[in-house]
């Protein structure tokens, strides 16, 4: 048995799952702006069997299932059983009969290929060994099968996350050691095109292409919600969680600092912040 992702699995299946449920609306509608480009640029072949890596609530899996159409199938995998159960429930509710889900650690488990194509929206940045995980994905693809993944670009171009992280770091300069599980390498671990393209090559992919995508996303329907979202998730939320009691003690100062950092994005329709991702495609 491979234990490398055990800690991250625990985090995703418990505390992070609960937080994702709380902010499901923002995560699925806001983040969808980035997967829209992925599906437009790399639509799945009609009638194909395709994989969605780290599927979360499975909303991308459902879109893939719709796109493959009759005779096709979209399979969502996630390391956290709670996400797999939630994704299965959501798909059933939506009548997405061509979407299926099962629990798998993408780094080590049998992904039940072959697939004509594999996709991921923010689902590949948390593996302890990214090359091993990408190699396992390649193994599940047919020869020549396409990989299309969306990952965050650098922090500075995702200022809503980075400014929040900096404000929290200033207020929590020393975070005591904690037994809380962490999420793995983290949301920006694949932001460097040089490193990621080397990892893809090492995993056996070729024809690697990066497209930068800059778009405003909704980070809160109100400023209050944007502050709550930042205090719960992303690098700022993780710092607060790992700080435990110290984080709680500072909650009102942190909330005030985040209000100051995020107010510039507030508009009549909610809080919309610039964000930037890579859409990477590669061939197996
Ligand atoms: C940031 S979420 C993205 C979820 C979804 N793709 C979305 O865009 O809403 C990352 C997802 O990757 C999953 N994940 C993390 N490590 C994984 C692994 N080793 N194997 C499979 N899934 C993993 C997490 O459980 C989580 O659902």
Segment holding 189, helix H or strand E: none
Average pLDDT for 243-262: 93
Residue of 22, 51, 126, 151 with the most ligand 1 atoms within 8 Å of its CB, for mutation: 126
- Dig out the tokens for 157 from the structure: 């171009």
Pick from 27-31, 37-41, 94-98, 167-171: least confident: 27-31
**Residue 121: CB within 6 Å of ligand 1?**
yes
Q: Burial code of 256-266, b = ≥16 C-beta within 10 A, e = fewer?
A: ebbbebbeebb
pLDDT of residue 226: 96
210 vs 178 pLDDT, higher one? 210
pLDDT above 90 covers a percentage of the chain that reads 84
In the predicted structure, residue 276 carries a pLDDT above the cut 80:
yes
How distant, in Å, are the alpha carbons of 38, 77, 152, 221, 235 from that of 182?
A: 28, 20, 19, 28, 11
- pLDDT value of position 201: 98
User: Is the distance from the beta carbon of residue 91 to the nearest atom of ligand 1 less than 6 Å?
Assistant: no
For residue 46, which phi and psi values (nearest 5 degrees)? -60, 140
Whole-number pLDDT of residue 30:
83
- Residue of 32, 35, 54, 158 with the most ligand 1 atoms within 8 Å of its CB, for mutation: 54
Residue 21 has pLDDT above 90, yes or no: yes
In this prediction, residues 94-113 reach a mean pLDDT of: 97
Q: Is the CB of 160 under 6 A from ligand 1?
A: no
CA 45 / ligand 1 centre spacing (Å): 24
Res 2: pLDDT: 66
The pLDDT score that the predictor gives to residue 5 is: 87
- Span 187-205, pLDDT tens digits: 999 999 999 999 999 999 9
Residue nearest to atom 27 of ligand 1 (CA): 56
| pLDDT at residue 152 is higher than 80 | yes
**Could you give the CA distance from residue 134 to residue 64 in angstroms, rounded to a whole number?**
20
Residue 122 Cβ contacting ligand 1 at under 6 Å? yes
Strands 266-267 and 270-283: antiparallel
Average of per-residue pLDDT across 107-112: 97
Whether residue 263 has pLDDT greater than 70 = yes
Dihedral over alpha carbons 109, 110, 112, 118 (to 10 degrees): 60
Mutate to test the pocket of ligand 1, among 27, 79, 90 (most ligand atoms within 8 A of CB): 79
Q: 242 alpha carbon to ligand 1 midpoint, in Å? A: 20
Does ligand 1 lie within 6 Å of residue 101's CB atom? no
pLDDT value of residue 3 = 77
- DSSP strand pairing (49-53 vs 270-283): unpaired
CATH superfamily, with its number, for domain 6-154+181-218+276-283: Vaccinia Virus protein VP39 (3.40.50.150)
Mean pLDDT, the chain, rounded, equals: 94
pTM of the predicted model as reported, rounded to 2 decimal places: 0.95
Pairing status of strand 141-152 against strand 115-121:
parallel
The span from the CA of 65 to the CA of 76, in Å, is 10
Residue 49: CB atoms within 10 Å: 21
Share of the chain above pLDDT 70, in %: 99
Residues in the chain: 284
pLDDT of residue 280: 97
CA of 27 to the centre of ligand 1 (A): 12
Residue whose CA is closest, atom 16 of ligand 1?
Answer: 126
Confirm or reject: Cβ of 90 under 6 Å from ligand 1: no
Residue 187, H or E segment:
none
Task: Give the residue with greater pLDDT, 172 vs 193.
Answer: 193
For residue 156, give the DSSP letter.
G
Pairing of strands 99-103, 266-267: unpaired
In this structure, the dihedral spanned by the alpha carbons of residues 12, 16, 17 and 22, taken in order and rounded to 10 degrees, is: -170
Compute the distance from residue 79 Cα to the ligand 1 centre, in Å: 7
Selected residue with higher pLDDT from 24 and 3? 24
80 lines ligand 1 (CB under 6 A): yes
**Amino acid 1: pLDDT:** 52
- Is 80 exceeded by the pLDDT of residue 29? yes
């Amino acid at each position: 048995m491979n234990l490398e992702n055990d800690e991250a699995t625990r985090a995703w299946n418990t505390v992070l799952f609960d937080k994702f449920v709380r902010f499901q609306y923002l995560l699925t509608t806001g983040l969808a702006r980035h997967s829209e480009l992925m599906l437009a640029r790399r639509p799945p072949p009609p009638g194909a069997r395709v994989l969605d890596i780290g599927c979360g609530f499975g909303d991308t899996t459902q879109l893939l299932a719709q796109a493959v159409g009759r005779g096709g199938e979209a399979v969502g995998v996630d390391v956290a059983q709670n996400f797999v159960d939630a994704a299965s429930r959501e798909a059933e509710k939506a009548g997405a009969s061509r979407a299926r889900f099962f629990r798998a650690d993408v780094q080590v488990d049998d992904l039940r290929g072959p697939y004509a194509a594999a996709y991921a929206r923010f689902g590949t940045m948390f593996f302890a060994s990214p090359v091993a995980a990408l190699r396992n994905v390649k193994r599940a693809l047919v020869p020549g099968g396409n990989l299309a993944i969306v990952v965050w670009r650098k922090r500075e171009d995702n200022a809503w996350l980075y400014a929040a992280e900096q404000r929290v770091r200033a207020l929590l300069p020393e975070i005591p050691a904690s037994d809380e599980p962490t999420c793995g390498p983290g949301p920006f671990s694949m932001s460097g095109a040089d490193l990621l393209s080397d990892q893809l090559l090492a995993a056996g992919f070729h024809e690697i292409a990066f497209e930068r995508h800059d778009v405003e996303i909704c980070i809160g329907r109100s400023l209050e919600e944007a502050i709550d979202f930042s205090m719960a998730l992303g690098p700022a939320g993780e710092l607060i969680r790992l700080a435990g009691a110290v984080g709680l003690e500072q909650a009102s100062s942190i909330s005030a600092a985040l209000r100051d950092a995020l107010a510039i994005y507030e508009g009549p329709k909610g809080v919309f912040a610039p964000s930037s991702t890579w859409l990477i495609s590669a061939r197996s």
